[in-house]
Amino acid sequence: CPTPADLRPANGTRVCAQLYTDNSPYYDQCCAGDVLVVPPDSDVPYMPRGWSARTSSLVVGTRCELTVWSGRAKTGKSRKFSA
Give the pLDDT band (50/70/90) at residue 81: very high
User: Are 72 and 46 in contact, with CB atoms under 8 Å apart?
Assistant: yes
Q: Is the pLDDT of residue 12 over 80?
A: no
Domain layout of the chain by residue ranges: 1-72
The pLDDT tens digits of the residues spanning 19-75 come to: 999 877 777 778 888 999 999 999 988 888 888 888 888 999 988 999 999 888 899
The pTM assigned to this predicted structure is 0.82
Helices (H) and strands (E) counted in the chain, each on its own, are: 0, 5
Write the pLDDT tens digit of every residue in 64-74: 999 999 888 89
Q: What is the pLDDT of residue 9?
A: 66
